[in-house]
C-alpha cells in the first residue's frame, strides 16, 4: 500500500509539478516560497484526495488548492510587511499634467494591435516576472492579486487589511513601474 501511494505521489508531481511551480512563481516571485507552496499543495491534495469528485480536471483542482495557499501567503506577507509612505508616494509624477492626465510627451508606449496576445508569449512572461521582481513586495502583491489572480478591490482591501487609497496608490505605482520596465526591457529590446 505504501509503495502504491508513493508511485501515485511521483506521478502527480511529474504530471503537475512544473505547471504549479510556474503558476506560483508568477505570483510570489520567490523560488523558495513557490516550491514551499507547491509542496504544501501536494500535501493538501493527498490529505483530501477522497474529496476530489472529478467535476473538474485534476490539474484545475490542484490549481485551486494552490490559489488558496497563495492567498494565505499574501495574507501572511501583508501582516508581516510594513507598507511605508515611500511605497505609496510616487516621487516622479512628471509624467502627468496638472489635471492628472498623461503628458503627451510621456504617455505609455503603443503595445500594438493585440497587447493581450503578448501575455501568452513565454519570453514576455519572463520579462514581466523580472519587472514584477523589481517592485516593492506589497506593490507587486497588490498588482498580482488584482491583474493576474482576478481579485476585486474589496477582496484585496479585506485580505491585505489596507485602505482603498493605499490600494489605488500601490496599483498606480505598480503599473507605472511595470510600464517603464517593460518599455525598456521588452519593447525597447524589440526595436534593437
pLDDT of residue 128: 85
Work out the number of other CB atoms within 10 angstroms of the CB of residue 51: 8
pLDDT of residue 87: 47
Under 8 Å between Cβ of 138 and 83: yes
Under 8 Å between Cβ of 62 and 41: yes
The secondary structure element, H or E, covering residue 129 is helix 122-134
**Residue with cell string 526591457:** 185
CA distance 93 to 102: 10
Residue-level pLDDT, tens digit, the chain, 192 residues? 344 555 667 788 888 999 999 999 888 888 999 999 999 999 998 888 888 887 788 899 999 999 989 888 887 776 655 555 444 445 555 555 666 565 655 555 555 555 555 555 777 778 888 899 888 888 888 998 898 888 899 999 888 888 888 888 889 889 889 888 888 877 765 544
CA distance 60 to 122: 21
CA distance 142 to 137: 9
pLDDT of residue 105: 57
CA distance 117 to 156: 26
Under 8 Å between Cβ of 141 and 160: yes
pLDDT of residue 184: 82
pLDDT of residue 35: 95
pLDDT of residue 5: 53
Q: Is 85 helix (H, G, I), strand (E, B) or coil?
A: helix
pLDDT of residue 95: 59
pLDDT of residue 39: 94
Work out the number of other CB atoms within 10 angstroms of the CB of residue 7: 10
Domains and CATH numbers, the chain: 2-80 (1.10.1740.10), 85-190 (1.10.10.10)
CA distance 97 to 24: 38
Amino acid at each position: 500500500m505504501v509503495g502504491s501511494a508513493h508511485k501515485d505521489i511521483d506521478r502527480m508531481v511529474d504530471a503537475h509539478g512544473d505547471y504549479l511551480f510556474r503558476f506560483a512563481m508568477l505570483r510570489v516571485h520567490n523560488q523558495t516560497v513557490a516550491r514551499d507552496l507547491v509542496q504544501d499543495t501536494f500535501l493538501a491534495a493527498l490529505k483530501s484526495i477522497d474529496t476530489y469528485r472529478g467535476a473538474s480536471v485534476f490539474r484545475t483542482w490542484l490549481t485551486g488548492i494552490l490559489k488558496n495557499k497563495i492567498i494565505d501567503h499574501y495574507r501572511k506577507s501583508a501582516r508581516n510587511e510594513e507598507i511605508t509612505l515611500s511605497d505609496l508616494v510616487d516621487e516622479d509624477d512628471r509624467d502627468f499634467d496638472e489635471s492628472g492626465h498623461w503628458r503627451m510627451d510621456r504617455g505609455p508606449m503603443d503595445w500594438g494591435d493585440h497587447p493581450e496576445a503578448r501575455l501568452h508569449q513565454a519570453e514576455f512572461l519572463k520579462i514581466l516576472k523580472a519587472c514584477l521582481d523589481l517592485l516593492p513586495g506589497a506593490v507587486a502583491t497588490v498588482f498580482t492579486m488584482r491583474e493576474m489572480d482576478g481579485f476585486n478591490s474589496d477582496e484585496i482591501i479585506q485580505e491585505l487589511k489596507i485602505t482603498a487609497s493605499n490600494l489605488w496608490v500601490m496599483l498606480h505605482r505598480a503599473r507605472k513601474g511595470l510600464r517603464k520596465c517593460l518599455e525598456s526591457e521588452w519593447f525597447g529590446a524589440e526595436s534593437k
